[in-house]
Amino acid sequence: MRIITWGDQRHVNTCHRCFEPAQALEERGHEVVVLREGDAARTETLPPDGADVVFVHRLHSAPVLRTVHTLAANGAAFVWDNDDDLTDVPPNPRGSVRRGGLRSQRTATELAAAIGLADLVTTPSSDLAQRFLAGGAPAVTVVENYVPDAFSRIERPSHDGVTIGWVAGYEHIYDLRALGLRDVLRALLDERPDVNVVSIGLDLSLERERYRYMPMVHYAQLPRLTAEWDLGLAPLADVSFNRARSNCKLKEYAAVGTPWLASPVGPYLGLGEREGGRLVADGDWHAALTRLVDGPRERARLAKRGRKWARGHAMSRNVKRWEAALGDAVQRRRTRA
């Protein structure tokens, strides 16, 4: 197939939903053109003879959809992908309401237009798939998030103490506050001089010497950084937005041998020790963290199980699922034509 993939390289989600599948498809012999600049991409560089399918992650602005419409008029199928419900982002727990952006009427209108124009919508979540079908998508296919093979090849460095880490976008500020995790982590740092805390993406504002905050990093750096951790966190408040998420974060932790603790919400329900971690009820985070900080053998056992689980979710083993979804969209477009 001739495939155009289009996303915004500033977003980590776009890497595992768009760019990583594009690379794997190219390695399987498909002709792939990648647009990485989001809404600002220069579409005049696209192949003059078009493509079999254009695959867009999350973008929904009018200029993007106009370009997609032109490509579709020349025979290209359109697959639109999203892994979050952008119309359902939770408000700040302190009561402030976001203005414009994700919660705006304009966004909702553009999202509806993208869904309606698509031959196929893809998403990693069955919950989100139902929402897209209810929103007018002609067809939806669930394709899980898979982990680049590079994650499983990382060697874990040795270090002193116990490092707890959390990869979190800014929207997780809601989870941080709703679950009271700032107080939990501060208390743990005060109680345990052998504990360090690292966050990537979201500043937890712990105000402690053994806390380190890293702004968003390139996705290719993520396996090396998370392999330095002894525990990975994936807390979620039980709200509608979180119930439509994917379980990719746990796969990424498990693939590098980092045992995880997660909330029993949405994508994490049903996962546990066989997948390299444990589920934690809202009020039990301090106890769960303390137990694994004091249990190196438990951490090692969970890490071994997690790596085994994650190998089955490597991109190289599952790229055929993406190939099948895009091929289905091409067939749908030809049938409609």
For the chain, count helices (H), then strands (E). 13, 12
Write the single-letter amino acid at 3. I
Domain 2-146+316-336 and domain 149-311, same fold? Reply is yes
CATH class of 2-146+316-336: alpha beta
Residue-wise pLDDT tens digits, 245-281? 999 999 999 999 999 999 999 999 999 999 999 999 9
CATH topology of domain 149-311: Rossmann fold (3.40.50)
Per residue in 115-135, pLDDT (tens digit) is 999 999 999 999 999 999 999
β 140-142/120-123 pair status: parallel
Amino acid letter at 318?
N
pLDDT at position 95, please? 44
| 121 touches 325 (CB < 8 A) | no
Please report, for the chain, the start and end positions of each structural domain, with discontinuous segments joined by +: 2-146+316-336, 149-311
Q: Which two tokens stand for residue 332?
A: 């749908």
Q: Kindly tell me if the per-residue pLDDT of 93 is higher than 80.
A: no
Q: Tell me the DSSP string of 56-103.
A: EES---HHHHHHHHHHHHTT-EEEEE-SS-TT-PPPPTTS----SGGG
- Which pTM does this prediction carry? 0.92
| Dist. CA 305–CA 324, nearest whole Å | 29
Q: What is the DSSP string of 92-112?
A: PTTS----SGGGSHHHHHHHH
**Residue 110 and residue 1: Cα distance in Å, rounded?**
28
User: What average pLDDT score do residues 44-69 get?
Assistant: 91
